[in-house]
Chains A and B, each alone.
Chain A
Amino acid sequence: MALTEYKYSDVIHRCFRCGYCKFPTSFVEVNNCPAYARYRLESYSTGGRLWLIRAWLNDELDWSEHLGEIVYSCAACKNCAEQCPLPFSGDIVDMIVAAKGEMVERGSIPSAVKEFLENVDRQGNPYGTARSKRGEWMEGTDIEEYRGQEFLYYVGCVGSYDTRAQQAARALGRVLQKGGVSFGVLGNKENCDGNDVGKLGEAGLFEALAEENVRQFKDLGVRRIVTLSPHAFNAIKNDYPRLDSAFEVLHYTQLLRDLVRARKLDVSSGFNAKLTYHDPCFLGRWNMEYEAPREVLRTIPGVELVEMERHRADALCCGGGGGNFYTDFLGGSEDSPSRIRARDACATGASVVATACPNCLTMLEDAVKAEGLDDRLKVMDISEIVSEACPPKGN
């Protein structure tokens, strides 16, 4: 498409390079944009990226692998949309996604992104691992297949295939059982939710995935869904409804909060630690859920919750969004956002950083090791913390 056909052609030039997109509200750091934090070049900040996109669509700039990487280094974290003072700020991430969409249609995308998308198309997950292995995380548990129970527990690709995230998937299963929740999983029949496929600009593949999932859920009589990942939560809550789906969807921290309030979940064994909570972008800025995870953590005896300087809407993205947990455009440096975040967590004096997203869990786990902080900082998913706080006997 030419610039004139681009959906945001009337506003894309209106960025006047104020740089707010790089900051958190408190201006305490200038690197709250994960890509800018990594590269410290204007091209990688939202403002710079938008001007490069405009130039490319206007044929002033040829596509190159480098341009592709600049555009795809956006982790879709929404810090820019949160901070931009202009009236179209809410559309900013969509503007970048629309540009990625044009790259996808022209076939010109970085190889890592091509692999991600082709793997999802063929095997239902970005790793390209066989579909037949998607349910292996359940081995050794007595988690049941979905057969009409009250909740569908939707695990997602990272929780199903990544070995660290599988531990969170199992922990959540155990916690749901302890809370007396009636639930089942799809196992090998689960397919990618498509959230990151959509944020990578492959709208056609996203629609196909969403349609198939909606059909599958309807055929199985699903009414309520609880997700491990905020990415799945975001897609099912905000993007699936236009496909005529009427499911109630909760992120697991919201369900745990409800269980704790209704006194259905016994966490009396407690968890003794000073801990800090890392807000995941797709739960926090994308869906404004900052309270439920904190409420769950605060009810656990022994937990001392301290906040990082940049938290809630100002949280620094772990850099795993926009497919980057696989494509890794933001990795390989002490300025990688995940490593900065690990240092942020350490600076609170906490011995545990709690996550509520399997992507954040794996990104921060690797970052803590890369920083050499693994002797004093543990990365744990809230599902794992709650699981430890549940007494072993009784249900």
Chain B
Amino acid sequence: MDIVVAVKQVPDTSEVVDVIKIDASGKDIERGTLVSKINEWDEYALEEALQWKQKLGGTVTAVAAGPGEWDDTLRRALAMGADRAVRVDEDATVIDCSAVARTLAALIRRLPYDLVVFGAQSEDFGSAQLGPMVAEMLGIPHAALVIRLQVEEGEAHVERELEGGTRELYTLRLPALLTIQTGINRPRYVSFASVRKAREKELSVMSLDELGLSPEALTPAVELDRLELVPAGKRAQLLSGSAEEAAAKLAEILRDSGVI
């Protein structure tokens, strides 16, 4: 079975939240001091693809549309066990999903695939649109927020995670595209030595030209106006009384504010 996994490299902001600053343009964050890493959802997607390759045989190809620095994430994917990686050289500050989707779809069309997997969303912009857009462009069925996957005889049986623990079960005929939710598996650790060894594996870079895409064809449909930091709140109300009394007060506050 041939699986294509789309990956993205994002700034590491998990423990450094109060270090984020908006840059001079007002449309991006200052990235100078930030370290980058693989998008968390993509790590789960890669792990899932690799586990299915181990079970059923075949190949895993990691793809990305981004700048040269993103080779780090592709090398990591190769170190995890992907067979080859392809990057379309593109400016990652384009946040319009349709443009990125067109780029990835153009690339994926040229690759053999039974299954395409994306992370459900990205840590930085979190739109969760890319996977479903690419599926539509490729003309294949998709399921998003997959929390469990079973592949057999040309079909993918998936569980989608909805609110409140509800699950939807679907069967999709392959080829299909899935966007993967965190928690579907436990991604393996990638050792320093294995990343070094992965340099022997194929990582090719393509230009938009080679994919037959002109920059005009990728005009963004969505433009970012500005980024703002949410001002830190200073109001805290301490609820006194027993647990029951405090809970009653809290319920009233939540009801009055329209939250529940």
Chain A residue, CB-CB nearest to B195: A204
Binary flags per residue of A131-168, CB closer than 8 Å to B gives 1, else 0? 11100000000000000000000000000000000000
Binary flags per residue of B1-38, CB closer than 8 Å to A gives 1, else 0? 00000000000101110010000000000000101010
Residues 91-146 of B contacting A (Cβ, < 8 Å): none
Is residue A240 within 8 Å, beta carbon to beta carbon, of the partner chain? Answer: no
Docked Cα-Cα span, A107 to B189, in Å, equals 4
Whether A205 lies near B191 (C-beta < 8 A) is: yes
Q: Report if A130-B188 is in contact (Cβ < 8 Å); known contacts: A122-B12, A122-B37.
A: no
Is residue B194 within 8 Å, beta carbon to beta carbon, of the partner chain? Answer: yes
Whether A202 lies near B12 (C-beta < 8 A) is: no
Chain A residue, CB-CB nearest to B186: A111
Size category of the binding interface on chain A? 20 to 34
Whether B37 lies near A114 (C-beta < 8 A) is: no
Chain A residue, CB-CB nearest to B193: A204
Is residue A208 within 8 Å, beta carbon to beta carbon, of the partner chain? Answer: yes
Whether B193 lies near A203 (C-beta < 8 A) is: yes
Is residue A48 within 8 Å, beta carbon to beta carbon, of the partner chain? Answer: no
Q: Report if A105-B15 is in contact (Cβ < 8 Å); known contacts: A111-B186, A122-B35.
A: no
How many whole Å from B113's CB to the nearest CB in chain A? 25
Is residue B180 within 8 Å, beta carbon to beta carbon, of the partner chain? Answer: no
Q: Is the interface of B mostly helix, strand, loop or mixed?
A: loop
Is residue A128 within 8 Å, beta carbon to beta carbon, of the partner chain? Answer: yes
Residues 184-231 of B contacting A (Cβ, < 8 Å): 186, 188-194, 196
Whether A132 lies near B12 (C-beta < 8 A) is: no
Residues of B within 8 A of A131 (CB): 33, 35
Docked Cα-Cα span, A208 to B196, in Å, equals 11
Residues of B within 8 A of A123 (CB): 12, 15-16, 35
How many whole Å from A205's CB to the nearest CB in chain B? 4
Docked Cα-Cα span, A205 to B19, in Å, equals 26
Docked Cα-Cα span, A118 to B16, in Å, equals 15
Whether B19 lies near A132 (C-beta < 8 A) is: yes
Docked Cα-Cα span, A123 to B15, in Å, equals 10
Size category of the binding interface on chain B? 10 to 19
Whether B15 lies near A104 (C-beta < 8 A) is: no
How many whole Å from A267's CB to the nearest CB in chain B? 39
Is residue B178 within 8 Å, beta carbon to beta carbon, of the partner chain? Answer: no
Residues of B within 8 A of A113 (CB): 189
Q: Report if A108-B188 is in contact (Cβ < 8 Å); known contacts: A123-B35, A131-B33.
A: yes
Q: Report if A202-B15 is in contact (Cβ < 8 Å); known contacts: A122-B37, A131-B33, A132-B33.
A: no
Q: Is the interface of A mostly helix, strand, loop or mixed?
A: helix
How many whole Å from A8's CB to the nearest CB in chain B? 19
Residues of A within 8 A of B80 (CB): 107
Whether B192 lies near A205 (C-beta < 8 A) is: yes
Whether A204 lies near B186 (C-beta < 8 A) is: no
Residues of A within 8 A of B193 (CB): 105, 203-204
How many whole Å from B94's CB to the nearest CB in chain A? 25
Is residue A342 within 8 Å, beta carbon to beta carbon, of the partner chain? Answer: no
Whether A114 lies near B189 (C-beta < 8 A) is: yes
Whether B190 lies near A107 (C-beta < 8 A) is: yes
Whether A202 lies near B192 (C-beta < 8 A) is: yes
Q: In the complex, which of the residues B33, B35, B37, B193 has the most CB atoms of chain A within 10 Å of its own CB atom?
A: B193
Binary flags per residue of A109-133, CB closer than 8 Å to B gives 1, else 0? 1010110011101110001111111
Docked Cα-Cα span, A317 to B194, in Å, equals 33
Residues of B within 8 A of A104 (CB): 189, 191
Residues of A within 8 A of B16 (CB): 123, 129-130, 132
How many whole Å from A149's CB to the nearest CB in chain B? 27
Chain B residue, CB-CB nearest to A101: B191
Residues 317-343 of A contacting B (Cβ, < 8 Å): none
Residues of B within 8 A of A133 (CB): 19
Docked Cα-Cα span, A203 to B15, in Å, equals 25
Residues 142-200 of B contacting A (Cβ, < 8 Å): 186, 188-194, 196
Whether A130 lies near B19 (C-beta < 8 A) is: yes
Docked Cα-Cα span, A131 to B32, in Å, equals 12
Whether B191 lies near A129 (C-beta < 8 A) is: no
Binary flags per residue of B76-89, CB closer than 8 Å to A gives 1, else 0? 00001000000000
Residues of B within 8 A of A128 (CB): 14-15
How many whole Å from B39's CB to the nearest CB in chain A? 14
Binary flags per residue of B43-62, CB closer than 8 Å to A gives 1, else 0? 00000000000000000000
Whether A208 lies near B188 (C-beta < 8 A) is: no
How many whole Å from A62's CB to the nearest CB in chain B? 14
Residues of A within 8 A of B192 (CB): 121, 202, 204-205, 207-208
Docked Cα-Cα span, A107 to B35, in Å, equals 22
Docked Cα-Cα span, A370 to B189, in Å, equals 33
Residues of B within 8 A of A207 (CB): 192
Docked Cα-Cα span, A203 to B37, in Å, equals 21
Residues of A within 8 A of B35 (CB): 122-123, 131
Q: Report if A109-B189 is in contact (Cβ < 8 Å); known contacts: A131-B33, A204-B196.
A: yes
Docked Cα-Cα span, A202 to B35, in Å, equals 21
11 residue pairs A–B, Cβ–Cβ below 8 Å: A105-B193, A105-B194, A107-B189, A108-B188, A111-B186, A123-B12, A123-B35, A131-B35, A203-B193, A204-B191, A204-B196
Which B positions have Cβ atoms within 8 angstroms of A?
12, 14-16, 19, 33, 35, 37, 80, 186, 188-194, 196
* Contacts A122-B35, A130-B19 supplied; 16 other A-B pairs, CB < 8 Å: A107-B80, A107-B191, A108-B188, A114-B189, A118-B189, A119-B15, A122-B37, A130-B16, A130-B33, A131-B33, A132-B19, A202-B191, A202-B192, A204-B191, A205-B191, A208-B192
Ranked 8 nearest A-B pairs via Cβ: A204-B192, A107-B188, A204-B193, A130-B16, A128-B15, A205-B192, A114-B189, A107-B189
Which A positions have Cβ atoms within 8 angstroms of B?
104-109, 111, 113-114, 117-119, 121-123, 127-133, 202-205, 207-208
